[in-house]
Structure 1
Amino acid sequence: MAVVAAFAVPHPPLIVPEVSPGKEREIPDTVAAYQEVARRIAALRPDAVVVSSPHAPLYADYIQISDGPSAQGDFSQFGARTPRYRVRYDETLAHEIERQGVATGVATGTLGRQDPSLDHGTLIPVHFIERACAEAGTTSPEYVRLGLSGLSPLEHYRMGMAVARAAEELGRSVVYVASGDLSHKLLESGPYGFAPEAPLFEKQVVDALATGDFLGLLAIDQDLAERAAECGLRSFQMMAGALDRTTVDAELLSHEGPFGVGYAVAAYSPTGHDPSRDFGEQYRELMMRRSHERRSAEDPLVALARASIEAWVRDRHTLTGDEVDDLLDERRTPHPVRALLDVPRACFVSLKKHGQLRGCIGTLAPTQACLSDEIVANAKSASTRDPRFRPVQPDELDDLVLDVDVLGDPEPVASLDELDPRVYGVIVSTEDGRRGVLLPDLAGVDAAEEQVAIAAQKGAIDAHAEPILLQRFRVERHL
């Protein structure tokens, strides 16, 4: 046996009548599609249902598999005492998924157990499945719950592959349910406001779900997804891996977003084996091409930062002034840029890997004789001394995407009205010398209040309980 069907579903609590009586009638297509999905699952009578949920325990570098014989949960956090559910876990399948994942290099397992109760991203599919099984008079399936992580789309895809291999190894019939909403910023009137990136992200995801274009799901720009406040993308990518090298009949059963949050329901029925649908390998090749294209088009300041990182990570060597000059000559760096690099300026160097931050170190005032030396020093530090991350390893170098931000002089700010997170960075400081900094135009940071709160947190400052000084600064961003 193997994965016999897969479904992408949302998890709005209001779809459960006991949570918001009558509100579910405002998303009728989603309700009807969810009921159809549950009926299909009940008719398949699978041995197990594997659910991936964005609200299960989540770690930056580890995909958690819920352990134990069973779990329960309810909707009390949303003000409803009923319904309540207890599900049985398929422990044998869970351990085999872990074994298969680890064998392919995925950081996964049952460690790091937090709250064992079922999260609403899992409870809502369980709610529909359990009711459909009761109506059909069939036995409820056992479940496996998977969390998401900050790992790359490819790692989530490989985790889905581990699910399929585990099902085959054990002879289990498995249904995969990918729980996840789409964008949370579709409407100004919605609970999270509007982001201009949201409609584009929504269209790309829905088109990919509708057609079974799993490469398209994997390749969605991570910055776009973050600015759109996505929820379920990694869950859908994991589901795609569970259908690796499998031809499918794809159906988009519904798509709605009346409350400013996108809800899509899609169904996939395996129809055969097709080696060409190895989207993980296709994605890896696509990312390599993009990396090479980006390298060739990099700004000279970014090329200098990259050379500094590579020299240190590979050889523990710090670039000399002559080597910097040779690099700039090789890239035919224009005179205005050379002139900029010759004067003292503060800068930040930021590293991303697969769309996730991998390091960021900078200075608010120059510490070196010139900007080129500042970039060399900060790039080296961003790759090895950011306390939030382990040092960059040689096998990661090709996956890094770099930004260099050259800072203007800070200026005092009298109120939040003078801040704009898209234009200005912010410095939050106290009289005793604590200080937190946040660069401008960061994905997901849309309000001045949010920008100040994040900067204050970075400086261990309670912005609500103690006097603070605000400063803003502009940056020249080099990509």
Structure 2
Amino acid sequence: MTGVVLAALAPHPPILIPEIGGKEIEQIAKTQISIRKLAEEIKEVDPDIIVTISPHGPVFSDAVSILSAENLSGDFGDFGREDVELSYKLAEKFTSELAIAANKNKITTARIDKATARKLEVKMELDHGVLVPMYYLNEVGVNKPIVPVNIGMLSYEELYTFGKIIQLVAERLESKVTVLASGDLSHRLTTNAPAGYDPKAKDFDERLVHYLNTLEVENIFEMDNQLIQRAGECGLRPLTMMLGAMDRLDVDGGVLSYEGPFGVGYAVATYRVKGKKEEVGLLDKLHKRKQDRLSQIRSNESEIVKLARKSVEEYIKNREVIDPPAQLEPQLAGRAGAFVSIKKNGNLRGCIGTTQATKANLAYEIIYNALGAAFEDPRFEPVNLNEIDELTYAVDVLGEAESIESIEKLNPKKYGVIVRRGERAGLLLPDLEGIDTAKKQVEIAKRKAGIPIEEEDIELMRFTVTRYK
């Protein structure tokens, strides 16, 4: 049998390495026993290639990256043991075919060679997300060519699709492949946890472990985003890619163990492939769900949002800046500042705006700010033709800003804020996800303006917005 023959999830606490953890390993004995069992299973299936998936290598907002040197190595120098080193050969043909296939499927894949690593100022070394589980494979004599994949901050659907592409490339090249996802669960289980305590962290881990054990993959995709954020995890994206590599495969296995004595959840799971399923895979369901959702959004778009979208699409297709409609609705005929936000798969893709009117009317303001959000936001690559059907838009029309004496006059759900000091100014819109206090709102606006957080000699202004979707 070729293709993906085994998929696994392993945690990566450096303390799991005997030379580092010493006696403290006793506190995660269940994890060590399980990861040794995982290593023995991989040895038994005897793969040709191991695809590792780590959250701690070079991570990009818009791409999956793969370290691509002929010889790959890493050590535990960051944890006081640079003498503990592991080295591997790159599975070059598989890496090349994987990158080509992913890019054809509109998932940008960045191969990082030594020159690229120098340019981007990233390390060309295997990180501890790879090294910790591979240490135990090395312990049982497994040393195979690897493909060191690093997660991207893409949508979970895109990451799942990338996993499916791993599966398809493995089948096409007739290679026996093990997919080894590295990731810890919540980092907020106890009051002394590294990321602080959150009472919802335990709930996140319990749900995820249950879904992994029963392979209720669809339920993982439906987990509440706020719950995920509160967990402070680093394993959901790697395991999503691992699950994609199992799409429509018949597997045996589940969770071998789970524990969290240091405030971080460690889960070990293995899935051995028996064959293929005939039923519709989750990937097909996810694609249909996405298309249905986008169709519903398009059908409910306001005229203001349609104008923003049309301006971007027309410019991409014909390099022309559209004119406003001949007969303007009253709200478009007036003048006001406006921000246009563009999202892709729920993630910000661009946002540009004006705090006050700069054009003859609001229609022109929206047209030019939409183009700015799509092509001039320095945080993102310009929008391209391949993705325009996946983009969603929102337009915030600003009311007149008013000066306020203190932070007590702010309400981040109702008011946006402008922070000024001299010629520096930072603006933050209201009702943004994750910003639930005026203090946090002002701090972010200060950072945007380049004003020190501790600076108190500032001018505050608040404003309301009318949000169109």
Normalised by the length of structure 2, the TM-score is 0.81
Partner of 1:397: 388
Q: Give the stretch that moved more between structures: 84-93 or 313-322.
A: 313-322
Deviations 1:125-179 (A, max 9, x none): 1223223x1xxxx343333211122334344334323433443344432211111
8 Å CA contact retained: 1:256, 1:263 = yes
Partner in structure 2 of residue 129 of structure 1: 137
* Per-residue CA distance 1:100-124 (angstroms, 9 max, x = gap): 4445454325233331222121122
1:314-350 Cα offsets, whole Å, 9 max, x none, are 563535254553xxxxxxxxxxxx7x76764433221
Query: 1:172 aligns to what?
Result: 175
Q: Is the 8 A contact 1:304 1:324 kept in 2?
A: no
Q: Which moved more, 1:238-247 or 1:19-28?
A: 19-28
Q: Take 1:45 and 1:374, find their aligned partners in 2: how far apart are those partners?
A: 61
Q: 1:434 aligns with which of 421, 424, 431?
A: 424
The DSSP-based 3-state class of the residue aligned with 2:36 is helix
Partners of 1:46 and 1:175 within 8 A in 2: yes
Match of residue 331 from structure 1: none
Residues 444-453 or 100-109, more deviating: 444-453
Q: Is 1:359 matched up with 2:350?
A: yes
Aligned to 2:272: 269
Percent identical pairs in the alignment equals 37
8 Å contact kept, 1:246–1:277:
no
- Relative to structure 1, the CA distance from residue 87 to residue 452 in structure 2 (aligned partners, 3 Å threshold; closer, same or farther) is farther
Query: Equivalent residue for 1:116?
Result: 124
Structure 1: unaligned runs, 5 residues or longer? 326-337
Q: Could you tell me which residue of structure 2 aligns to residue 144 of structure 1?
A: 147
1:209 aligns with 2:241: no
Task: Return the offset for 1:6.
Answer: 0.4
1:17 deviation in Å? Answer: 5.2
1:389–1:301 distance in 2 versus 1, CA, 3 Å: same
Which amino acid is the alignment partner of residue 438 of structure 1? L
Of the structure 1 ranges 170-179 and 202-211, higher mean CA displacement relative to structure 2 is found in: 202-211
Instruction: Give the direction of change, closer, same or farther, for the CA distance of 1:16–1:418 in structure 2 (3 Å limit).
Output: farther
Q: Comparing 448-457 with 227-236, which one deviates more in the overlay? A: 448-457
- CA RMSD in angstroms, aligned pairs only: 3.8
SS of the residue 1:387 aligns to: coil
Which residue does the alignment assign to 1:332? none
Asked if 1:182 corresponds to 2:185, the answer is yes
Unpaired segments ≥5 residues, structure 2: none
When residues 309 and 9 of structure 1 are mapped into structure 2, their CA distance, relative to the original with a 3 A threshold, is same
What secondary structure is seen at the aligned counterpart in 2 of 1:389? coil
CA drift of 1:90 comes to 3.4
Q: Distance in 2 between matches of 1:196 and 1:149?
A: 28
What secondary structure is seen at the aligned counterpart in 1 of 2:67? coil
Contact 1:247–1:277 under 8 Å retained in 2: no
Q: Indicate if the aligned counterparts of 2:188 and 2:231 stay in contact, CA closer than 8 A.
A: yes
Greater CA drift, 343-352 or 362-371: 362-371
Asked whether the 8 Å contact 1:291–1:399 carries over to 2, the reply is yes
User: Which amino acid counterpart does residue 63 of structure 1 have in structure 2?
Assistant: V
Counterpart code for 1:117: E
- What amino acid does structure 2 have at the position aligned with 1:39? E
Q: Is the 8 A contact 1:227 1:443 kept in 2?
A: no
Cα distance in 2 between the residues matched to 1:195 and 1:342: 48
Query: Match of 2:81?
Result: 81
Aligned-partner SS, 2:288: helix
Q: Aligned pair in 2 of structure 1 residues 165, 320: CA closer, same or farther (>3 Å)?
A: closer
Q: Match for residue 61 of structure 1?
A: 62
- Does residue 318 (structure 1) correspond to residue 322 (structure 2)? The answer is yes
Aligned to 1:378: 369
Q: Where do 1:386-465 residues align within 5 Å?
A: 386-410=377-401, 425-431=416-422, 433-443=423-433, 454-461=444-451, 463=453
Structure 2 counterpart of 1:90, one-letter code: L
Query: Normalising to structure 1: TM-score of the pair?
Result: 0.79
Could you list the per-position Cα deviations for residues 219-253 of structure 1 after superposition, in whole angstroms to 9, with x for gaps in the alignment? 65767645654423332222123223312224123
- What's the CA shift for 1:50? 1.4
Deviation of residue 267 (structure 1)? Answer: 1.8
Greater shift, 65-74 or 347-356, is seen at: 65-74
Q: 1:227 to 1:441 in 2, by over 3 A?
A: farther
Distance change in 2, residues 1:375/1:263 (3 Å) = farther
What does residue 90 of structure 1 align with? 90
Deviates more, 1:364-373 or 1:410-419: 410-419
Q: CA offsets per residue over residues 388-437 of structure 1, 9 Å max, x none?
A: 33443444333122333344554567777877766654434332x23333
Cα distance in structure 2, aligned partners of 1:341 and 1:227? 40
The amino acid across from 2:148 in the alignment is R
> Of the candidates 149, 156, 166, which is equivalent to residue 163 of structure 1?
166
Instruction: Tell me the secondary structure at the aligned position of residue 110 of structure 1.
Output: strand
Distance 1:110 1:427, change over 3 A: same
Partner of residue 41, structure 1: 42
- SS for the counterpart of 2:257 is strand
CA distance in 1, matches of 2:336, 2:237: 39
Cα distance in 1 for partners of 2:408, 2:188 equals 23
Aligned-partner Cα distance in 2 for 1:197–1:411: 38
SS at match of 2:125: coil
